[in-house]
Amino acid sequence: MKTKVKICGICSLEDVRVLNEAGPDFAGFVLAPSKRRVKLEELETLIAYLDPKIIPVGVFVNQDPAYLLQAVAVGIRVLQIHGDESPGYIQELRSLLDRQNSGKIKIWKAVRIGLENEIDKADREFQGLVDGIIVDKYDSNAYGGTGQAFDWNLLRKKHESQEGERWDFPLILAGGLNEDNVKLAISTVNPYCVDVSSGVETNGRKDRMKIRRFIEQLRQCSRL
């Protein structure tokens, strides 16, 4: 299966135009405190200009489920939960989505990896509750967006321990990805999707050519 790509940290109409040209699978909008944060009214405008083939993902950190539902109302189709949210929080969120007939909305839970046993813990806690697990590097000072990679071999060991079987949930790889290492990342982890933000930026702004080169590297992997 072809590895999908998510470009995160979209916060302007220029960013949207760049994505519409490049054609990634997912566009990430940060709705948690961050230098890339967008407000709901801005989000609605950005999604309105986004190519309908690109799926909008909202990134949230320890926020009220009601706020996430407001984001769904303006066009978010994947809820990326990136904080300390518990399985109980996920269950409550899923119940609220069902009440609003939003059963097609996906939920991805981020797990920050520092040690191998954290992967097993995520496997146990969120199996059957979420539609995807994002693996990112652990940092005691941030919930994500550090631009740093963790040891991808931890995920290789997990796959090998399962005798080659894939997890029941899609795996989204984040943290420190760029055009120079994405091929290695895919060959090591074989993720459902790769998630990149600062790795396709120059001076804190999305770089059209870096995005194109990143996606081209990804497509070369698919042709191998």
Closest CA to 15 of 142, 42, 173: 42
Q: Annotated catalytic residue: which of 123, 131, 151, 207?
A: 131
Note if 8 is an active site residue: yes
Give CA 64 to chain center in angstroms.
Answer: 19
Residue 179 is given by DSSP the state: T
Query: What is the CATH number for 67?
Result: 3.20.20.70
Distance (Å, whole) CA 210 – CA 213: 5
pLDDT band at 219 (very low <50, low <70, confident <90, very high): confident
- Per-residue pLDDT, 163: 46
Strand 205-206 to 201-202 pairing: antiparallel
Q: Annotated catalytic residue: which of 8, 11, 15, 136?
A: 8
The tally of domains found in the chain comes to: 1
Closest CA to 122 of 140, 135, 107: 135
- Per-residue pLDDT, 168: 62
State the average pLDDT for the chain: 86
Question: Which tens digits make up the pLDDT trace of 138-171?
Answer: 565 555 555 566 777 767 655 544 444 445 678 8
Question: Which tens digits make up the pLDDT trace of 109-143?
Answer: 988 776 555 666 677 788 888 999 998 865 655 55
Residue span of the structural domain in which 126 resides? 4-223
Query: What mean pLDDT is predicted for residues 188-198?
Result: 92
Note if 131 is an active site residue: yes
Q: Return the SS3 of 220.
A: helix
Q: Return the SS3 of 61.
A: coil
For the CA atoms of 78, 84, 157, 168, the dihedral, rounded to the nearest 10 degrees, stands at: -40
- Per-residue pLDDT, 54: 98
- Per-residue pLDDT, 165: 44
